[in-house]
Amino acid sequence: MPTTEKNITIIKLGGSCFSDKKVPRSLHVDVIDGVCKQLEGAGFPLIVVHGGGSYGHPVAKRYGIHLGWQEGFGDQSAGFCETHEAMVELNHAIVGQCLKHGIPAFAVQTSAVFLLEGGAVSSARLDAVDALLDQGLVPVLYGDAVVDTSRGFGIMSGDAIIVELANRLKHRVDRIVYLMDVDGLFDKDPRQGPGARLIPDVVIEGGELFVPGEAGPARLEDVVQQGGASIDVTGGIIGKLRALAHLEDKEVAINLICGRNRSSLAGLISGAPVPCTRVSIKR
Ligand code: IP8
């Protein structure tokens, strides 16, 4: 088996893409199936990272797992374990779909790889991920409940995982693809009616997000209408993109595309023009 350094694509399966956040433990198996179909015989090294969707988030919220030990959340030890259990169930379903499509997916337990301290990553044991890639396998990691050595516990999101993988793996991550329930980032929620405009480019500079324009760059927060109902394509995703400012390699190609149709991912992989938001990081 070759063990030389490879260029890796990370596919982030966003929770909004594969589950209905209003229905606990709901999984759109057809969406996962469509994604796997487009990745069949991809022919390039791959890591899959998935979010929590309606599996991890509601449990974590109920028990305040993202806050560490706190009064008033009931039995947080049980909540910590239940959050992880929900994510394991989800991960098992996603890995199972990958295997059905001949993708050699191998679950990697995020909480066994990472430790936090005060919310920041204090330990990352990624040798096993590098070794799986060396063997031509597809590691599948997921947002998880993770031990925090000062707060007790916390949540490590799929997006934080992506930054750690890109910065610390032996192999080079050269492409990150975010799969969403819509075609990318919009100026308003496209699910709430017509007239929403897809933002084709976003630039991250000095930790801030900008939309290039003829009149000069505008702050993304000023371009995007944020509202409770559109949190996944506005507020939520803005926080996720801001995390990418911590990528050490500023050359990595980052695209936000729709993971719900059966063509955007295959199109992007083959180099065809697909509706998307491209994200670049300025040095
Ligand atoms: O959906 C969160 O991961 P994310 C995972 O990538 C949990 O933010 C356990 C809520």
Question: Which residues touch 231 (CB under 8 Å, ≥6 apart)?
Answer: none
Report field, pTM of the whole predicted structure over 0.85: yes
pLDDT tens readout for residues 56-100: 999 999 999 999 999 999 999 999 999 999 999 999 999 999 999
2: pLDDT strictly greater than 60: no
Contact in structure between 282 and 204 (CB atoms under 8 Å) = yes
Write the burial class of residue 128 (CB in 10 Å: 0-12 exposed, 13-18 middle, 19+ buried): middle
Q: What is the pLDDT of residue 227?
A: 60
Domain ranges of the chain: 7-281
Ligand 1: which residue has its CA nearest to atom 1? 51
Write the burial class of residue 4 (CB in 10 Å: 0-12 exposed, 13-18 middle, 19+ buried): exposed
Residue type at position 136: G
Which residue from 155, 178, 181 has its CB within 8 A of the most atoms of ligand 1, so it is best to mutate?
A: 155
pLDDT tens readout for residues 102-114: 999 999 999 999 9
Q: What is the pLDDT of residue 231?
A: 31
Closest approach atom of ligand 1 to CA 86? 9
Which CATH superfamily hosts domain 7-281? Answer: Acetylglutamate kinase-like (3.40.1160.10)
Which residue from 10, 109, 144 has its CB within 8 A of the most atoms of ligand 1, so it is best to mutate?
A: 144
**Predicted confidence band of residue 3 (pLDDT cuts 50, 70, 90):** low
234: pLDDT strictly greater than 50: no
**Predicted confidence band of residue 206 (pLDDT cuts 50, 70, 90):** confident
